Amino acid sequence: MSESKKEDLIEALGQFKDPMLGVSLDEAKTIKALHFTDGRAVLEIELGFPAKKYAAELKASLTRLLGRMPGVESVEVSVTSKIVSHAVQGNLKPVGKIKNIIAVASGKGGVGKSTTAVNVALALAAEGASVGILDADIYGPSQPRMLGLSGQRPETVDNSSMKPLRGHGIECMSIGFLIDEEQPMVWRGPMVTQALSQLISDTRWGELDYLIVDMPPGTGDIQLTLSQRVPVSGAIIVTTPQDIALLDARKGLNMFRKVNVNVLGIVENMSTHICSQCGHVEAIFGSGGGSRMAEQFDVPLLGRLPLDISIREETDAGKPSVIAAPESEIATGYRNVALRASAVLSLAARSYAGRFPNIVVENT
């Protein structure tokens, strides 16, 4: 009797589509154990993405689902997370103790890419992941100010590497820490790519589940360097709904696909404008562009974020929305983007490169 009831429970779980994963828990291979004895159902779920806060929501949904099944008198659900390294482009080796590198990119400037990147990083940290952010925009670094770290300098170690600074619980490295805030970077392409390589390799990153890379706009030298030298597990494309932004965003998405980087999804930023005086909502940049692009390229739409004055004010003050107002609708929007992106990544092929030692043959 209990075996047949267990099969009914498995079938019910197969009908449940996790809102972050976009597939059933069975398809995602997240069901670690399921037991049914004397009317008591015990379910163990192990997610491949951070879920410190989300676990309670998922647990409640699954408890309700199983509790409605005939013959089930009590339900016990546990939700844990285990974040692993995922496949990257080419034969690139892991960087230090970083499990996954996620690039946040856009085809053009001014679409809110850096604001999205920092809030996604902070949201992942709030869900229990160890996170760092690399400001790869050499010409226009903004992460030091966004994280409230302007004017600080990284500590050097053995005159060969630097310790990343910490802001709101995440590690951060940026060219902005090494120059005056108003100093222009009048550098040619080779100098810029060398600077990016050094920022990654010469930074003594800790054990990170995710390193978020805030990319500069476009598809130029830095993007090429990243694809050739840095093991990227996935990319998030940020755009606004307007046609001009979408045109450039398509170029950015196609670039990552050409270099075999997994595109995790699209974020439609400035989806609507919220009037600070009356609360009126208006789609001033058009509507539905992100959805159409996601459908066209068969990638998830990770979320829509509004154009709201509080987002600008909070990042300018060094406390992005996820930190300044963690329970707000805007922070919830960033949190959902972060969860969906990391959930999509959890479904990708795993990387085993870090498990094998380097073999060195020496003549004696």
Lowest mean pLDDT among 90-94, 109-113, 181-185, 235-239: 181-185
Quote the mean pLDDT of the chain: 90
Q: Are residues 26 and 115 in the same domain?
A: no
CB 211 within 8 A of CB 103: no
Query: What's the whole-number mean pLDDT along residues 218-238?
Result: 88
Alpha helices (H) along 168-242: 189-201, 221-229
Q: Are residues 76 and 105 both part of a single domain?
A: no
Most distant CA pair in the chain: distance in Å? Answer: 79
Determine the Cα–Cα distance for residues 256 and 212; give it in Å rounded to an integer: 16
Q: Is residue 172 part of a domain?
A: yes
- Of 81, 111, 138, the residue that ends a domain is 81
289 HSE (CA, 13 A, CB side): 26
pTM above 0.95, yes or no: no
Residue 28 — φ and ψ, nearest 5°?
A: -80, -5
Question: Do residues 120 and 194 share a domain?
Answer: yes
Residues 222, 258: one domain? yes
Regarding whether 199 and 62 lie in a shared domain, the answer is no
Residue 2 confidence class, pLDDT cut points 50, 70, 90: low
Q: Which of 2-11, 39-48, 283-292 has the highest mean pLDDT?
A: 39-48
75 and 112 share one domain: no
How far apart, in whole angstroms, are the C-alpha atoms of residue 290 and residue 112? 14
Q: Is residue 92 part of a domain?
A: no
Q: Do 63 and 153 share a structural domain? A: no
Chain mean position to CA 81:
16
174 occurs within a structural domain: yes
pLDDT at 182 over 60: yes
The string of DSSP codes covering 54-123 is HHHHHHHHHHHHHHTSTT--EEEEEEEE----B--STTPPP-TTEEEEEEEE-SSSSSSHHHHHHHHHHH
Q: Could you tell me what percent of the chain has a pLDDT over 70? A: 96
CATH of the domain at 308: 3.40.50.300
Q: What is the pLDDT of residue 1?
A: 41
pLDDT at 110 over 80: yes
132 and 272 housed in the same domain:
yes
Q: How many domains does the chain have?
A: 2
Q: Which tens digits make up the pLDDT trace of 306-355?
A: 999 999 999 999 999 999 999 999 999 999 999 999 999 999 999 876 55
Do 139 and 58 lie in one domain? The reply is no
Question: For residues 30 and 47, what is the distance between their CA atoms, to the nearest angstrom?
Answer: 6
Amino acid letter, 138: I
Confidence of residue 59 (pLDDT cuts 50, 70, 90): very high
Domain holding 75, by residue range, is 2-81
Q: Of the candidates 34, 51, 81, which is a domain's last residue?
A: 81
- The verdict on 245 and 338 lying in the same domain is yes
Last residue of a domain, one of 51, 81, 111: 81
The Cα–Cα gap between 5 and 223 comes to 53
Does 227 score more than 90 pLDDT? no
What CATH number did the domain enclosing 60 receive?
3.30.300.130
Domain assignment of residue 194, yes or no: yes
pLDDT tens-place string over residues 120-173 = 999 999 999 999 999 998 888 999 999 999 989 999 888 789 999 999 999 999
- Report yes or no on 199 lying in a domain: yes
86 belongs to a structural domain: no
- Residue 358 covered by a domain: no
Mean pLDDT of 270-277: 83
Distant-in-sequence, close-in-space partners of 273: CB < 8 Å, separation ≥ 6: 281, 282, 283, 284, 306, 307, 308
If asked whether residues 204 and 232 sit together in one domain, one would say yes
**182 and 77 together in one domain:** no
Residue 145 lies in a domain: yes
Q: Which position has the token pair 């990227």?
A: 232
pLDDT band at 21 (very low <50, low <70, confident <90, very high): very high
Inform me whether the pLDDT recorded for 360 exceeds 60: no
Instruction: Return the half-sphere exposure (C-beta side, CA atoms, 13 A cut-off) of residue 150.
Output: 13
